[in-house]
Structure 1
Amino acid sequence: MGSGAVDVEQPSLLDPGAVAQPQPAAYIGVAQVIVDVPLPHLDRTFDYGIPPELDADVHPGVRVKVRFAGLERDAYVVGRTRTSDHGGSLSPVRKVPSSVAVLAPEILSLARRVARRYAGTTTDVLRLAVPPRHATAERAVLEGLAEQADVRIPWEEQAGDGGAHLGQETLPDPQVEHTDLDAATPRVWHPYAGGEAFLRRLAAGQSPRAVWCALPWSDAGAEEPPHWARAIVAAIQAVRAGGRDVVVCLPDQRDIASLGGALTAAGVDHVVLSADQGASARYRRFLLALTGQAHVVIGTRSAAFAPVRNLGLVVCWDDGDDLHAEPRAPYPHIREVLCLRAEEESAAALIGGFGRTPHAEILVSEGWARSVQAARGLVRASTPRVSAPTDADLAREGAAGRARIPGAAVQVVRRGLSEGPVLVQVPRSGYLPVVACQTCRTPARCGECHGPLALDRPDATPRCRWCGRWQTRWQCGTCEGTRVRAARVGSDRTAEELGRAFPGTPVLVSDRDSGVTAEVDARPRLVVATPGAEPEAQGGYRAGLLLDAAVLTGRPELGAAVEALRRWLRAAALVRPDGQVMLLGQGAPVPVQALVRWDPVGHAQRELSERGELEFPPITQWAAVTGDATAMRLFSARLRLPEGAVTLGPVPVEETGPDGEPWVRLLVRCPRDQRDELGQALAEAVAIRSARKEPGSLRVRVDPERVV
């Protein structure tokens, strides 16, 4: 990576014809810094002189202030040398806000790998990894350190390699010396083939990697944390027994609360790190990990970059949840970030969930990780009975079988309510989130923006879900009809229907609009919830209904079946093993049968095989380049792809740019082993576009969530 300096005092880098200014003063040394600028072609280090008065404060990892292109900007020092290969004069480091080395070397290395994989810049990744400084929080944390503590330790003392990587062939070897753990610790992993061996290797200081399908049941009392949380705690205790640190990433705050409660019950000290914390709280917890005062960090996406001193294990729970996908550039997925970090720091890895994604299954098929799952007999004994009535089954009920909630489902609910709460999962929130013409069944559209119309209550006027306009004089564009009917039923309407069907039974709605409820007691009640908002029930639900299956499996997305199965499994896992779950709505047969058999591994293997035949992710790596036609033409002309990569398009898309100009999309596909080369090629093309200040808009996203 080249080095230099850009400043109004250094016109030689801004204007090749200008004359370099003489050196303003003698410097003690040269600081190599990464400047926080959004321009891709400036994603490299620059040299700045270190004034004598800042000599003691400028060391690798600290934040500094430098003058860059006429403005004072934040930067990170990533190296210090005596001389510079820059031919012109150097600008000085202007200020050191804090002498704390907030950028650890392993985090810098990880940021560079993530940027290369996702065609981004190092500074973009560092914005995700290092929270803004909060002086009061920093002062409080540093006061808790010993006076002789050196805040430069993260750059001067590297953690050990943590042991050899152990793949599929070596994980289940039972001949590993047993480390002295609490006798109850390995018990939670006993049902899984290779589970106890995984724990023993963690405690022995080794670095096994596992992809884990968790059982939904809990062998503890109703007041105990869920089984999956206690299993992760057992893994954490095994790593801590060997003196190493742990980073755990979970999708949302409810999962954080479950795991945090399990850690507290087990007496394991930990801190929570997430982006939605206040500036002071987040920075304080970040510093606790950086200074070695926190050894177990759990949280959402931002926890993946927690700078623990001696990383021994990274955990990603429910890796298929879309909350693990970073919505900010360069859009990395936390599962991939943690896998890269496990490689960088020779740490163990645990990717777990009730289901299994093709992206996790390919780690097993490649030998990167070992599959950890329970035997079929134990799975059947630990999961509720799941049924999915077919059209032929429902036809036997006559007219009642054509209802959204047929008679068989009513009987399941009634039996469940006789003993406790019953869960009803609905794909959408609201009352009638999608309506259609009463006469011709054509989806109702807004007359202004052509967005879908919805009803908020029975007597409401249709309202556009995109622009929010009330459609007081709506008319169907196909048949000129003026009345609408339900095309999709939401959680509020479902609760209303169930309230009429079961008078006197309390009905609770848990969704984004009505508010998410964390837990309900064991009293009989109906709980209507959208995916991800299902409350836990004390002692488990007695029965469950999963409605409108076709809504989830019929989405025009590559991962629709995988996502539908993941959502169903998470809801069904809340039902007791002696309960019953019924799936309604005629979903796609493959994920439906996978749910009935409770076979997420088989579904992931089949999905991976089919995607391999079609060269879809994760067998291949894809990237989507979206922008206006002019920018796309210039970009594609200079794009130098690795051998074996192919392009598809560009083709028009519905999205428009900031100026309203229609956008087009170019898809790029390459073999999986060329992922980094693809990211680098895309980043280089973007950097050239940035350096030339080409007009138009362009967005590059590697491994996009929606390919089709």
Structure 2
Amino acid sequence: MSRDDQEPQEPAEDGPEQLALIRETVRRTKAPKAKPRTWRGAALAEELPVARVVVDRGALHLDRLWDYAVPEELDATARPGVRVRVRFGAGARHVRQGRREGGGLVDGFLIERRAESDFEGPLAALAHVVSPEPVLSPGMLALARAVADRYAGSLADVLQLAVPPRNARAEAAPSPEPLPPPTAPGPGSWERYERGAEFVAALADGDTPRAVWTALPGPHWPDELARAAASTLASGRGALLVVPDGRRVARVDAALRAHLGDGRHAVLTAESGPEKRYRQWLAVSRGSVRAVVGTRAAMFAPVRDLGLVAVWDDGDASLSDDNAPFPHVREVLELRAAHERTAFLLGGVSCTVEAAQLVGTGWALPLTPSRDRFRAAAPIVRTIGDTDLERDEAARAARLPTLAWRTVRDGLQNGPVLIQVPRRGYVPRLACERCRNPARCRECAGPLEGREGQRLVCGWCGRSEESWHCAECGGFRLRAQVVGARRTAEELGRAFPEVPVRTSGRDQVLDAVPGTPALIVSTPGAEPVAEGGYAAALLLDGWAMLGRPDLRADEEALRRWLGAASLVRAQSAGGTVVVVAEPTLRPVQALVRWDPVGHAVRELAERSQLGFPPVSRMASVSGPPEAVADFLATVRLPREAEVLGPVPAPAPRPAGARGSQEESGETWERALLRIPPGRGAALAAALRTAQAARTARRDSAPVRLRVDPPEVG
């Protein structure tokens, strides 16, 4: 470039002709730009030559739509919703504030076509249309945007969870023709619930009821879910059912086949493999099938004319995604129910505080059986507390209480017996030695932990506690609530040497066992279904579950106990459950009475008084200490927000890594941000803005944000 090009000479004087030329130049500069016609000599599309694209870049400062020119040869296939490849960064000539971002070809989704672009510079052209298959509908885009905003994440990250990777062979295969709507089934076992028959009838009539369903113990819940889905399909709409794992998917799949036959529903699980799963997903996207059952990722399934969304056992940790922005199935399906105006069903044998809150606010109605129904369907529950263990000679000698031994012996005469053993790795929580009430901080009500030199420190705000005493009974002595369990299971095997012992846990999970006498030792959540139900069950070492340093410890213990006890035969058939835990504790009493709803309501009231989620909203910020400090200095929180901490926290271990945090040399901290009800959206927006500013700087160490962290301890 010549110097004359860089520095134009000023005219000697502004004559009439020169002034006219200046005015014309200014007029043309201010005039709207014409839509692009060519790019590097190549012709562009005649109609709507600008494509708006969301690129597969999860950084928050890049979370926007980017404009690209549409070449003429891609005009026919560059439709909204298709996958595209674009040059993003240095070669794309997308310049913002003087900075060019990245470079090279990246994946993306074409969102819309326009006649003009708001960008003032030249546009790069779309490089490729990966496939003409539209995989992102406007409704799914709106849902993904809502999920990203709720969890302070990026649209690209949510779309990675919502749209599975492409498989060319599955895409080339034709999907079957859609079948006509089935006939609505009868209410069946839904008649056991108050307003249950009315609920499925409303689905068949095309209505959109919302309900929290507390299921009776026993094997009927997959059939009841399938009846709800079949009733929705009978109205000409679609149904989406999400359950925690593949074992339960298989049970609901079998029930759907029984009610709908073949070809009316799809199964979406990771175990299916990429090609089969994508083929099933495409059948849903193309409208060939209107019903879906699947695990966590199925929450985004693109069901046409969606009429019902349902989630089973929403307290299961597997329903909270471990990938950014960490959405929970329950919350996503609530958003879908609101955005797509569908019916909503949240079911389980237990009840979470979030479910109780939905009922308490009137957003959903309860579907519960009468107390007589509960008593008829549930097994009898007996307890063994500390006092019983101290007086029991057999328990002191063999670690097997007499009541438990007799229950196993009697049960083995009629069928298999389940022994639930807490898995290893539970960390102790401190509690009052006298009344077992959890030890909490007087400032923020967080859990107290024993640190170096037995010093008590709050696990949330980091304050030291020098003179703790129990608010319930006035006691001053603490205990760590953990008792071993593995050795107890070994003693059971020795006590009954003639009986086969099978295990179900992390290494091998059993789906089902026969109804013959056997000891089935299982970790929580891995209990197999027994043919005809278990004759009895032992729930061992309850302190190991109640003593977890987690806000949800009591709720989770009750959920695990109810899940195991619901596999036992009814009391009228001799079914007996023995739980080894202090009988005066609230979760144990709820199990004895089989009252998960009452426990959840009381837990919700207590959390409301203490300012705990879900009444308040929380977010966690974790990372290296300097990064957490920088983030807290950057973020502009709403004035109602409260910062707790930071306190030391374990660093996430990479997949496959071994050893402890101390061995790796990593030091992390965590801060909790708490905000009153109704201000969660403002908190998420502030976190998102601060994270975007830090990632744009490039020199900032990353921090991990998680809105509504599932474990707060």
Question: Take 1:657 and 1:380, find their aligned partners in 2: how far apart are those partners?
Answer: 46
Against the structure 1 CA distance between its residues 433 and 563, is the aligned structure 2 distance closer, same or farther, given a 3 Å change threshold? closer
Aligned equivalent of 1:27, options 44, 56, 62: 44
Total equivalences in the alignment? 590
Does structure 1 residue 584 correspond to structure 2 residue 580? yes
Question: Take 1:518 and 1:115, find their aligned partners in 2: how far apart are those partners?
Answer: 36
- Match of residue 143 from structure 2: 110
- Match of residue 67 from structure 2: 47
Query: SS in structure 2 opposite 1:649?
Result: strand
CA RMSD of aligned residues (A): 2.3
Structure 1, gaps ≥5 residues long: 1-19, 147-178, 218-225, 435-486
- Match of residue 638 from structure 2: 642
Question: Take 1:391 and 1:587, find their aligned partners in 2: how far apart are those partners?
Answer: 9
AA aligned to 2:578 is M
AA aligned to 1:195 is G
- Match of residue 216 from structure 1: 217
Are the aligned partners of 2:650 and 2:667 in contact in 1 as well (CA < 8 Å)? yes
AA aligned to 1:531 is P
- Match of residue 184 from structure 2: 181
Are the aligned partners of 1:657 and 1:697 in contact in 2 as well (CA < 8 Å)? no
CA positional deviation for 1:393: 4.0
Query: SS in structure 2 opposite 1:97?
Result: strand
Are the aligned partners of 1:214 and 1:354 in contact in 2 as well (CA < 8 Å)? yes
Does structure 1 residue 67 correspond to structure 2 residue 83? no
Does structure 1 residue 425 correspond to structure 2 residue 420? yes
Aligned equivalent of 1:499, options 493, 514, 524: 493
1:483-494 to structure 2, matched below 5 A, reads: 489-491=484-486, 493-494=487-488
AA aligned to 1:123 is A
Residues 260-312 of structure 1 show CA distances to partners (whole Å, capped at 9, x for unaligned) of: 11112223432111234321112111100000011111110111011011100
Against the structure 1 CA distance between its residues 393 and 616, is the aligned structure 2 distance closer, same or farther, given a 3 Å change threshold? same
Query: SS in structure 1 opposite 2:129?
Result: coil
Are the aligned partners of 1:24 and 1:89 in contact in 2 as well (CA < 8 Å)? no
- Match of residue 94 from structure 1: 127
CA positional deviation for 1:401: 6.2
CA positional deviation for 1:614: 0.8
CA positional deviation for 1:497: 1.8
Aligned equivalent of 2:566, options 558, 564, 573: 573
Does structure 1 residue 328 correspond to structure 2 residue 323? yes
1:602-681 to structure 2, matched below 5 A, reads: 602-655=598-651, 660-681=665-686
CA positional deviation for 1:689: 0.5
Question: Take 1:635 and 1:528, find their aligned partners in 2: how far apart are those partners?
Answer: 46
CA positional deviation for 1:613: 0.7
- Match of residue 120 from structure 1: 153
1:89-238 to structure 2, matched below 5 A, reads: 89-141=122-174, 144=176, 181-182=184-185, 185-217=186-218, 226-238=219-231
Against the structure 1 CA distance between its residues 527 and 33, is the aligned structure 2 distance closer, same or farther, given a 3 Å change threshold? same
Query: SS in structure 2 opposite 1:190?
Result: helix
Question: Take 1:266 and 1:657, find their aligned partners in 2: how far apart are those partners?
Answer: 45
Residues 175-230 of structure 1 show CA distances to partners (whole Å, capped at 9, x for unaligned) of: xxxx9733xx213111111211111111111111111100013xxxxxxxx20011
Are the aligned partners of 2:266 and 2:281 in contact in 1 as well (CA < 8 Å)? no
Query: SS in structure 1 opposite 2:683?
Result: helix
Are the aligned partners of 2:542 and 2:579 in contact in 1 as well (CA < 8 Å)? yes
CA positional deviation for 1:336: 0.6
Are the aligned partners of 2:646 and 2:669 in contact in 1 as well (CA < 8 Å)? yes
- Match of residue 315 from structure 1: 310
CA positional deviation for 1:398: 4.0
Question: Take 2:411 and 2:238, find their aligned partners in 1: how far apart are those partners?
Answer: 44
Are the aligned partners of 1:543 and 1:580 in contact in 2 as well (CA < 8 Å)? yes
- Match of residue 246 from structure 1: 239
Are the aligned partners of 1:548 and 1:586 in contact in 2 as well (CA < 8 Å)? no
Against the structure 1 CA distance between its residues 276 and 587, is the aligned structure 2 distance closer, same or farther, given a 3 Å change threshold? farther
Are the aligned partners of 1:35 and 1:73 in contact in 2 as well (CA < 8 Å)? yes
AA aligned to 1:651 is V
AA aligned to 2:107 is D
Give the TM-score normalised by the residue count of structure 2.
Answer: 0.79
Query: SS in structure 1 opposite 2:270?
Result: coil
CA positional deviation for 1:629: 2.8
CA positional deviation for 1:591: 0.5
CA positional deviation for 1:429: 6.0
Give the TM-score normalised by the residue count of structure 1.
Answer: 0.80
Residues 380-410 of structure 1 show CA distances to partners (whole Å, capped at 9, x for unaligned) of: 1110000112344445544546753211111
Question: Take 1:323 and 1:588, find their aligned partners in 2: how far apart are those partners?
Answer: 30
Question: Take 1:559 and 1:691, find their aligned partners in 2: how far apart are those partners?
Answer: 36
Question: Take 2:373 and 2:349, find their aligned partners in 1: how far apart are those partners?
Answer: 14
Residues 664-699 of structure 1 show CA distances to partners (whole Å, capped at 9, x for unaligned) of: 222111123222222121111100101111332311
Range with greater deviation from structure 2 (97-106 or 642-651): 642-651
AA aligned to 2:342 is A
AA aligned to 2:68 is Y
Structure 2, gaps ≥5 residues long: 1-35, 90-102, 429-481, 655-663
CA positional deviation for 1:605: 0.4
- Match of residue 97 from structure 2: none
Question: Take 1:24 and 1:672, find their aligned partners in 2: how far apart are those partners?
Answer: 54
Question: Take 1:588 and 1:88, find their aligned partners in 2: how far apart are those partners?
Answer: 72
AA aligned to 1:687 is A
Does structure 1 residue 286 correspond to structure 2 residue 281? yes
1:346-357 to structure 2, matched below 5 A, reads: 346-357=341-352
Question: Take 2:217 and 2:389, find their aligned partners in 1: how far apart are those partners?
Answer: 29
